[in-house]
Amino acid sequence: MAVLERLRPDHAPALLAFERENREYFAARVPDRGDAYFEEFDDRHQELIEAQEAGEIHFHVLVAEGGEIVGRVNLVDVDAGAGSAELGYRLAEKATGRGLATRGVREVCRLAVEEYGLSRLIAVVALGNTASSAVLARAGFGAVGGVTLDDGEPGTAYELDLGELIPG
């Protein structure tokens, strides 16, 4: 069973392999990361580790037996003063359909309260991304309104008051 780990420097090769192997799958659902992301992966990974150490982000990977990364669940735009952050996640295509994203999101929600001292998470989902909306619903998030995503597409904003976490 995959375990959730906080992002570390040594996750870099497995994380790059995960993003490469699933690039087409992701690009059909969320905006493609672009070639530069892959070419500059190691520099960016180091920057992420530094941002994480500064408390600006909290990144996590789902690691299968043998060290293969099969998913990631991230908190970005951490606002310690407001107690809020934005949630994002993605699974390897072969790891979907088994509740792994839901489990990972629930685990990160728990970490958000217990380890990171947050009280509220938001997430934004493109209108047609029903698999993603279902993950949020299962984790207890509620829709709070329509938004325009970074790529200009219409989406829905979701919010979770971490004081009202659904157990399990």
Ligand X SMILES: CC(C)(COP(=O)(O)OP(=O)(O)OC[C@H]1O[C@@H](n2cnc3c(N)ncnc32)[C@H](O)[C@@H]1OP(=O)(O)O)[C@@H](O)C(=O)NCCC(=O)NCCS
Residues 6+ apart with CB under 8 A from 12: 41, 42, 45
In whole angstroms, what is the distance from residue 68 CA to residue 18 CA?
8
In whole angstroms, what is the distance from residue 108 CA to residue 14 CA?
20
Does 131 sit near ligand X (CB under 6 A)? yes
Does 100 sit near ligand X (CB under 6 A)? yes
Q: Nearest-CA neighbor of 90 among 65, 71, 111? A: 71
> Considering beta carbons, is residue 50 or 151 the nearer one to ligand X?
151
Q: Which among 47-55, 56-64, 77-85, 95-103 is the span making contact with ligand X, rule CB under 6 A?
A: 95-103
Q: Which among 10-18, 44-52, 76-84, 96-104 is the span making contact with ligand X, rule CB under 6 A?
A: 96-104
In whole angstroms, what is the distance from residue 27 CA to residue 69 CA?
18
Does 14 sit near ligand X (CB under 6 A)? no
Does 146 sit near ligand X (CB under 6 A)? no
Q: Which residues bind ligand X (CB under 6 A)?
A: 26, 29-30, 89-91, 96-102, 125, 129, 131-132, 135, 138
